[in-house]
Structure 1
Amino acid sequence: MSTYKKILLALDLSAESEQLQDKARELATTNQAELHIVHVIEPLSFAYGGDVPMDLTSIQEQLDEHAKKKLELFCDSLGYPVTTKQVATGQTESEIHRIAKELEIDLIIVGSHGRHGIALLLGSTANGILHGATCDVLAIRIKEEAE
C-alpha cells in the first residue's frame, strides 16, 4: 500500500521550479500516485494594496495566460502524467490549502529557498503552506542559480 495516493506540486514557475521535477516524478512513480500541479498568482490588487486607481484586469489576464503557458511547458517536460493542472488566483497559502482539501491531497510538495536563520528556514510561502496544511508537506531545497 502506498503512502501517498494524491500529490500536489505547488510551483512558482520560476527557473528554479525545474529542480522539483525529479523528486516529484520519483515520489509520484514510487507511490503510483495522482499528480496534481498548481501555480497561484496573487491578484495585482494584493501586490499594490488595492489602492491603485486603474483597471488592472487586462494585465491580470495577461499574467494568467503567461502562467498557463509556462505551466503547460513544465507539465510537458515532467515525464509523468498530470491528473490536474491549474493556475489559481488568490492568496498563495490559502489557495494551496483550499485546492489540497478539495482534491483530498495526501502530500503537498513545495520548493524552499534555503535562507539562513530559524525564522527564514522555509521562507514565508513554504512556511505558511506547512502551518496551514492538513496533510504532509515536503519542502524541497531550491539551489540558487549562482550556486
Structure 2
Amino acid sequence: MSTYKHIIAGLDLSNDSKQIVEKAKFLADATKAKLSIAHVIEPLVFTYGGDIPMDISSVQEQIETQATKDLAKLGEEFGIASDNQFIVVGQPANELHAIATQNGGDLIVVGSHGRHGLSLLLGSTSNSVLHGSQCDVLAVRVK
C-alpha cells in the first residue's frame, strides 16, 4: 500500500476550516506527506449571475485580499509555508481538481456538513469534489 505524498486541504475559511486542517495535518504527519491548503473564491459574477448594475471588481479584490490573510493565518498556525497555500478564483470543485493535478496532489481533504433534504438534492462542494477527482478525496464530518 502506498502512502500519500501531497495532501491538499480545500477550505471555505469558515470556523470549520480548523477541523479540516487538523485532520489533514494528522494524515500528512502520519504519512510524511507534504500538506497544502487551498481556498477557492467563487467570482461574484457567478454568484449573482451578472445582475448587479455596478462595478464589483473592487469588492472582488477585497474578498481576495481578506481570503489571502485568513489562509495565511491558518498556514502560520499549522506551520504550512506560504508556497503551499493556494488562493484561486473559480468553481471550487474544478479548481481543487486543477490544484491537485498541477501540484501532484494525491489526496484532497474537504469538509462535509452531512446535509439532508433539499441541500442534499442540490449537491455540495464536497460531493462535487468527489465526482471528477483523479485522486482520493476524504470528506471530514465537521461539527
Q: Which moved more, 1:44-53 or 1:104-113?
A: 44-53
Q: What whole-Å deviation, never above 9, does each CA across 1:60-93 have from its counterpart, x for those lacking one?
A: 0000000000001111111455651011001111
In structure 1, the partner of 2:59 is: 59
Q: 1:80 to 1:37 in 2, by over 3 A?
A: closer
What SS class does the counterpart of residue 53 from structure 1 fall into?
A: coil
Q: Deviation per CA, 1:93-145, whole angstroms, max 9, x where unpaired?
A: 1111111111121100000002236x829x510000000100000000010xx
* 1:50 to partner: Cα distance: 1.6
7 and 137 in structure 1: CA distance in 2 versus 1, 3 angstrom threshold: same
CA contact (8 A) 1:37 1:82 kept: no
Q: 2:11 matched to 1:11?
A: yes
Distance between the aligned counterparts of 1:9 and 1:62, measured in 2?
23
State whether residues 7 and 33 of structure 2, in contact with CA within 8 Å, keep that contact through their aligned partners in structure 1.
yes
> Contact 1:107–1:136 at 8 Å: present in 2 too?
yes
Distance 1:61 1:82, change over 3 A: closer
Q: Could you tell me which residue of structure 2 aligns to residue 110 of structure 1?
A: 110
Distance change in 2, residues 1:129/1:71 (3 Å): same
**Partners of 2:131 and 2:19 in 1: CA distance:** 23
- Cα RMSD (Å): 1.9
Q: How does 1:1-147 map to 2 (within 5 A)?
A: 2-79=2-79, 84-116=84-116, 120=120, 124-143=124-143
Identity %: 52
- Residue type of the partner of 1:112? S
State the SS of the aligned residue for 1:36.
strand
Kept in 2: contact 1:40–1:92 (CA 8 A) = yes
Structure 2 unaligned blocks of 5 or more? none
Q: Distance in 2 between matches of 1:51 and 1:80?
A: 38
Q: CA deviation at 1:54?
A: 1.3
Question: Structure 2 length normalisation: TM-score?
Answer: 0.90
The separation in 1 between residues aligned to 2:66 and 2:80, in whole angstroms, is 22
Residues 37-61 of structure 1, C-alpha deviations (whole Å, 9 max, x = no match): 1100000000100232211110000
Cα distance 1:82–1:141, how it changes in 2: closer, same or farther (>3 A)? farther
